[in-house]
């Protein structure tokens, strides 16, 4: 999202920075927030000042940083209660384990905790800490307490940590936090858009106990559904059998076969403005599924397969077709094959990924080459959640770029 798309002009953001190595990333966040036109007031905990100098934040936001609860000069300018009434949003990033604990307890023994207690503005926290500290039951309980009180928890993400560990606890990327802020203060950019997403594998029965299937985990499709819902879309997820739970705020319809998925999608197309086909649909199914379990009598067994309907092509071919996004899994000639797929299926956007040894299906990371009529972009390998967020950004831009006359729904 370019900053010009969603300016935060005149929005007041109180950015709380607590102690931890991720505090330096808060500088980037402060800069990004200020660049959107927001007024940013940084409040640091004492520990945070050990990691980044207050002058850095002052230079980036144009406002002196507040640290102490009882600072006569600052209190004279804007007292802490006045300061608590000032913001449209309090964002604590990074939020250390200690800060989460203090907020959960409702402490008021430093400026940041006092402001969180005294403010009526929404509060969001972006945790950052060692993965073991994040996994600790005490932290989990503190986070649950804060969530129950309506505090938004943005992140953390998984990955390499400054301490050398790998796991959950990394601060959510500043650019993603920026989007979270924009969404919270301005509303999602897909509010009012109804979207259908397919995900996961299909199972094509051979007999009552066996099926033809594939290795799709459903992670990518679920991540897309989550990212669309986060932008305010009204999302229906038509899912094959997977081990994932339904994303928060998403309507889920479970199916097994390609035919069932096809029927479930077509039955829900009315009013739909966006269709994302992320499912790994079986191209063929056994012609006749046996009524009874097939016994191992014969040395050879022939199974005749017939083609399944192509759900994506069927949706794209409809006169009232929504904006359609397909996926393409390729082992070679990625761009050429994917472009061909986009054209033959008549879809608006295609997201292609390289599959093969160790890539694609079951992994948490993926890379995508995305192309549409008039442009393309290569997204490097990253967590499927972040990848889905990027894809949804591109979809949103294309969707909004469509002339209203072409897009009367």
Question: Which residues share a beta bridge with 375?
Answer: 372
Closest CB to ligand CTP among 341 and 398?
341
CB of 281 to ligand CTP, least distance (A): 4
CB of 328 to ligand CTP, least distance (A): 5
Nearer to ligand CTP, 65 or 328 (CB): 328
Closest CB to ligand CTP among residues 90, 387:
387
Residue closer to ligand CTP by CB (options 67, 258) is 258
Residue 345: how many CA atoms within 13 Å on its side-chain side? 26
Smallest separation, CB 306 to ligand CTP (Å): 12
* Interface residues toward ligand CTP, by CB under 6 A: 198, 258, 277, 279, 281, 283, 308, 310-312, 326-329, 341
Which residues are known to be catalytic?
163
Q: How many CB atoms lie within 10 A of CB 179?
A: 22
CA angle 13, 14, 20 (to 5 degrees): 125
CB closer to ligand CTP, 178 vs 311: 311
Q: Where are the alpha helices (DSSP H) in 49-171?
A: 54-61, 72-77, 80-85, 97-105, 111-118, 131-135, 137-148
For 369, residues 6+ apart whose C-beta sits below 8 A from its C-beta are 334, 335, 338, 351, 352, 353, 376, 377, 378, 379
Q: Which residues, 6+ apart, have CB-to-CB distance to 404 below 8 Å?
A: none
Please write down the long-range contacts of 108-113, taking CB distance under 8 Å and 24 or more positions apart. 109/69, 110/45, 110/46, 110/69, 111/43, 111/66, 111/67, 111/68, 111/69, 111/80, 112/16, 112/18, 112/43, 112/44, 112/45
**Nearest distance in Å: CB 325, ligand CTP:** 8
Smaller CB separation from ligand CTP, 67 or 368: 368
> What's the burial of 24, exposed, middle or buried (CB within 10 Å: 0-12/13-18/19+)?
middle
Tokens 């996926």 belong to which residue?
327
Q: Shortest distance, CB of residue 280 to ligand CTP, whole angstroms?
A: 7
Nearest approach in angstroms of CB 189 to ligand CTP is: 23
Distance CA 196, CA 224 (A): 10
């Amino acid at each position: 999202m370019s900053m010009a798309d969603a300016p935060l002009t005149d929005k007041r953001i109180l950015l709380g920075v607590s102690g931890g190595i991720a505090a330096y990333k808060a500088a980037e966040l402060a800069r990004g927030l200020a660049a959107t036109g927001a007024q940013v007031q940084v409040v640091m905990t004492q520990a945070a000042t050990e990691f980044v100098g207050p002058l850095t934040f002052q230079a980036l936001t144009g406002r002196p940083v507040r640290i102490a609860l009882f600072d006569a000069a600052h209190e004279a300018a804007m007292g802490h209660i006045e300061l608590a009434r000032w913001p449209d949003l309090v964002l604590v990033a990074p939020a250390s384990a200690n800060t989460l604990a203090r907020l959960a307890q409702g402490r008021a023994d430093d400026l940041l905790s006092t402001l969180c207690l005294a403010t009526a503005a929404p509060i969001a926290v972006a945790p950052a800490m060692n993965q073991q500290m994040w996994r600790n039951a005490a932290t989990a309980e503190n986070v649950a307490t804060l969530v129950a009180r309506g505090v938004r928890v943005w992140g953390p993400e998984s990955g390499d940590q400054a301490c050398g560990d790998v796991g959950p606890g990394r601060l959510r990327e500043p650019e993603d936090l920026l989007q979270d802020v924009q969404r919270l203060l301005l509303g999602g950019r897909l509010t009012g858009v109804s979207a259908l997403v397919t995900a996961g594998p299909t199972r094509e029965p051979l007999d009552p106990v066996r099926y033809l299937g594939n290795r799709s985990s459903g992670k990518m499709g679920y991540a897309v559904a989550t990212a669309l819902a986060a932008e305010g879309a009204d999302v229906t997820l038509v899912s094959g059998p997977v081990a994932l739970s339904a994303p928060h705020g998403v309507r889920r319809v479970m199916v097994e076969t390609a035919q069932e998925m096809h029927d479930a999608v077509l039955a829900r197309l009315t009013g739909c403005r966006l269709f994302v086909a992320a499912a790994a649909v079986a191209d063929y199914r056994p012609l006749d599924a046996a009524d009874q379990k097939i016994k191992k009598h014969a040395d050879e067994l022939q199974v005749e397969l017939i083609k399944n309907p192509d759900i994506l092509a069927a949706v794209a071919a409809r006169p009232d077709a929504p904006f359609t996004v397909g996926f393409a899994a390729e082992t070679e000639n990625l761009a050429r094959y994917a472009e061909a797929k986009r054209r033959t299926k008549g879809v608006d956007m295609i997201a292609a990924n390289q599959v093969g040894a160790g890539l694609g299906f079951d992994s948490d990371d993926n890379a995508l080459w995305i192309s549409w009529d008039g442009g393309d972009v290569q997204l490097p390998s990253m967590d499927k959640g972040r990848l889905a967020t990027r894809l949804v950004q591109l979809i949103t831009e294309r969707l909004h770029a469509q002339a209203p006359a072409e897009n009367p729904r």
